[in-house]
């Protein structure tokens, strides 16, 4: 962590220097290792995370084994903040999707800073509002929009968080995150590749034509980004 300012997490960077200084002594940089389960639904949180890069997938599962992603979190997010201020129990699973680093803070220290700083508490509340809006939009999208638009939306969000045109992804992972069959993802990915929008090889997707991908996506990606921007327009 730089001694001159917050690490590259947008939530931390929104804090004034005095508020960040309350949190700074408790932050520890950790590695986000691909496929690591950070939190399990119904289990006590170990810490709250402020990702610097990499992404964390928030998923819900049924007893039969089906899993679907409700949000993808990264450098514009907090992982576990709302639950930490409530009962400290994770409401969903959190799994590392793309590797990176994050600032971690233990639950007691997180609560102490939240109690001491109105600005920090406000930031957490606004973040939870943004997360709820993202989950609601995802639910709407999954229910009403075709797989092609949903896949485009998912890839745009992943690109936003990684700043990379090439994403290490398998079709199995995409299908699980989107809650669809693998052959549905395969067919759509093939059509997008034929149109020159993406290039897909085993375990890797490259975005070739960003504008065309945005045009293929449904309105949900832009709607969530606009809502996030409104929530955090003022500090």
∠ Cα 112 16 84 (to 5°): 30
Q: Can you tell me the distance from the alpha carbon of 158 to that of 73, in angstroms, rounded to the nearest whole number? A: 9
Structure confidence by residue, pLDDT tens digits, 112-163: 999 999 999 999 999 999 999 988 988 888 889 999 999 999 999 999 998 8
Q: What is the CA radius of gyration of the chain?
A: 18
pLDDT of residue 24: 96
Cβ atoms of residues 146 and 30 within 8 Å: no
Q: Can you tell me the distance from the alpha carbon of 40 to that of 60, in angstroms, rounded to the nearest whole number? A: 10
Locate tokens 């804090």: which residue?
Answer: 15
Burial environment of residue 177 by CB neighbours within 10 A (0 to 12, 13 to 18, 19 or more): buried
Q: Can you tell me the distance from the alpha carbon of 2 to that of 103, in angstroms, rounded to the nearest whole number? A: 12
pTM given for the model: 0.91
Specify the higher pLDDT residue, 191 or 202.
191
pLDDT of residue 3: 54
The domains of the chain, with CATH numbers, are 10-124 (2.60.120.10), 146-217 (1.10.10.10)
């Amino acid at each position: 962590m730089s001694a001159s300012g917050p690490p590259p997490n947008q939530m931390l960077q929104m804090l004034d220097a005095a508020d960040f200084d309350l949190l700074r002594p408790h932050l520890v940089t950790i590695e986000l290792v691909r496929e690591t389960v950070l939190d399990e639904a119904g289990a006590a949180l170990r810490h709250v995370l402020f990702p610097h890069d990499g992404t964390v997938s928030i998923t819900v599962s049924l007893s039969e084994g089906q899993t679907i992603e409700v949000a993808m979190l990264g450098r514009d997010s907090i992982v576990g903040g709302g639950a930490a201020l409530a009962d400290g129990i994770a409401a969903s699973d959190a799994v590392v999707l793309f590797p990176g680093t994050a600032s971690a803070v233990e639950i007691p220290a997180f609560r102490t800073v939240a109690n001491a700083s109105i600005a920090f508490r406000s930031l957490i509340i606004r973040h939870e509002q943004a997360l709820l809006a993202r989950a609601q939009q995802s639910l709407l999208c999954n229910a009403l929009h075709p797989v092609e638009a949903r896949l485009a939306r998912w890839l745009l969000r992943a690109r936003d968080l990684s700043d990379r045109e090439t994403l290490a992804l398998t079709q199995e992972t995409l299908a699980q995150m989107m809650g669809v069959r693998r052959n549905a993802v395969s067919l759509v990915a093939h059509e997008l590749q034929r149109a020159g929008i993406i290039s897909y090889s085993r375990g890797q997707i490259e975005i070739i034509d960003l504008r065309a991908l945005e045009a293929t996506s449904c309105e949900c990606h832009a709607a969530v980004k606009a809502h996030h921007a409104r929530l955090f327009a003022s500090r």
